[in-house]
Amino acid sequence: MSTSKLMKVSYYDTKAEVRLECYADTVVYEKEGVRSVIAAIRLGGYPESVRGMAEAIFGGGSITIEIDGNGMATPFPPNICYRFSITSV
């Protein structure tokens, strides 16, 4: 039996003083020149948090993904066209 590790995803807007947190089990990076950008991410958690995180990402916000206790800031370039789909189980 394999165990999966969830990655903590957080967003913080200092101006609006809004902090969101949810979890991802899948993150897909795409190489763009010398940097990597997120091509896909599957989020989970409370519906309000997931929806807020999706809106923040869609709006070009920067998130932090924590993997094994190490945080990595990830900006989302606003000129990339993202598609998001929200489903509930």
What residue spans define the domains of the chain?
A: 7-75
DSSP 3-state assignment of 88?
coil
The pLDDT value recorded for residue 4 is 62
How confident is the model over 17-75, as pLDDT tens digits?
A: 889 999 999 988 888 788 777 888 889 888 888 888 888 888 778 888 998 878 777 76
Confirm whether pTM is higher than 0.95: no
| Residue 28, phi-psi category: left (phi > 0), alpha (psi -120 to 50), beta (remainder) | beta
DSSP string, 2-31: ----PEEEEEEETTTTEEEEEEEEEEEEEE
The pLDDT value given to residue 75: 66
The answer to whether 19 and 42 are in contact (CB under 8 A) is no
